[in-house]
Amino acid sequence: MKRADGAAGPPAYATVARQIRDHILAGELAPGARLPSESELSAEYGVGRSTIREALKVLASQNIICTTRGVTGGSFVAVPTVSDISAHLETGVGLMTAVETVSVEQLIDVRQMLEVPAAGIAAYRRTDEHLDALRRSMFDPSGAQGPETYAHNQEFHLVLLRAAGNPLLEVITIPIFRVLSSRFGRDRAPAGFWQCVDADHRALLALIEDGDSMGTMSAMRRHLDHLSDAYMRMDRLHRG
């Protein structure tokens, strides 16, 4: 397909996919809603059914729609979840870090911008369930470290973000946390790293239990400063 100026334009299926996506993002098709049939979409957009099928494949690959088979099947607007969106964002952030479009310092900067105020909000919005979850995320830093330790560390930050009561915090921050943790070698953590993490988490927990918002923000800022030092050292090792 060519534009009026002679330059090659996007293929028809990409144009149709963009138009359907725009309708969904504009709220004209709600999450869970069934899309019109292939024949109806073909008539609406003035293209063949094969073009519609390709457009739907594009939307499915972007997790915008899901398709089921059978009598009650069809294409439906996807119902977004925090984990799905977060996983998609994690892939993009990981790729940007791999090609050094984004630096370690920039990733840590974003964590500071988001997690420090979120911790302060969590200190006065937290529930007893959040406190119980934070306590369960504690670990013994004196033993051998492995996947369980990493999971507890991640859970502490995840619960704090949830306690702030804004799902966008989790969507944006957790992918950055995971990219930093996986890319820069948790198994190469400097001596005393996990002892420092444990001490910081316990100090944060005590402040959150007291509902001390300002103290929690200061403690989270110090904690992320400690992590920053460790990640910078791991980054230097990663670069070889």
Cα dihedral 237, 174, 60, 46 sign: negative
36 and 114 belong to one structural domain: no
What pLDDT, on the 0 to 100 scale, is given for residue 23? 92
144 and 26 belong to one structural domain: no
Q: Which residue has the tokens 């990219």?
A: 179
Task: CATH number of the domain at 54, please.
Answer: 1.10.10.10
Final residue in a domain of this structure, among 77, 94, 125:
77
Neighbour-count burial for 146-178, b at 16+ CB within 10 Å, e otherwise:
eeebbebbebbbbbbbbbbeeeebbbbbbbbbb
Q: Which residue has the tokens 């979840």?
A: 81
73 and 93 belong to one structural domain: no
Amino acid at 91: T
What pLDDT, on the 0 to 100 scale, is given for residue 8? 61
Count the domains in the chain. 2
218 and 102 belong to one structural domain: yes
Neighbour-count burial for 195-213, b at 16+ CB within 10 Å, e otherwise:
ebbbebbebbbebbeeebb
Burial label, 123 (beta-carbon count in 10 A; 0-12, 13-18, 19+): buried
Whole-structure pTM value = 0.76
211 and 122 belong to one structural domain: yes
Alpha carbon distance 184, 189 (integer Å): 9
Q: Which residues pair with 84 in a beta bridge?
A: none
Tell me how far the alpha carbon of residue 132 is from its chain's centroid.
24
Final residue in a domain of this structure, among 52, 77, 102:
77
57 and 118 belong to one structural domain: no
Amino acid at 97: T
Token pair belonging to 7: 């330059």
177 and 233 belong to one structural domain: yes
Question: Among residues 92, 66, 88, which one has the least CA distance to residue 79?
Answer: 66
Task: CATH number of the domain at 194, please.
Answer: 1.20.120.530
Domain range for 60 is: 12-77
Task: Using DSSP bridges, classify how beta strands 65-68 and 74-77 pair: parallel, antiparallel or unpaired.
Answer: antiparallel
Question: Among residues 209, 126, 213, 137, which one has the least CA distance to residue 164?
Answer: 126
Q: What is the pLDDT along the chain (240 residues), one digit of tens a residue?
A: 444 445 567 899 999 999 999 999 998 988 999 999 999 999 999 999 999 999 999 999 888 999 888 777 889 999 888 888 888 888 888 888 888 888 888 998 999 999 999 999 999 999 999 999 999 999 988 876 777 888 888 899 999 999 999 999 988 988 888 888 776 655 667 888 899 999 999 999 999 999 999 999 999 999 999 988 888 887 777 666
What pLDDT, on the 0 to 100 scale, is given for residue 231? 84
73 and 105 belong to one structural domain: no
Residues 6+ apart with CB under 8 A from 97: 104, 107, 179, 183
Q: Is residue 7 part of a domain?
A: no
What pLDDT, on the 0 to 100 scale, is given for residue 223? 96
Q: Which residues pair with 34 in a beta bridge?
A: 76
Question: Among residues 138, 167, 170, 133, which one has the least CA distance to residue 152?
Answer: 138
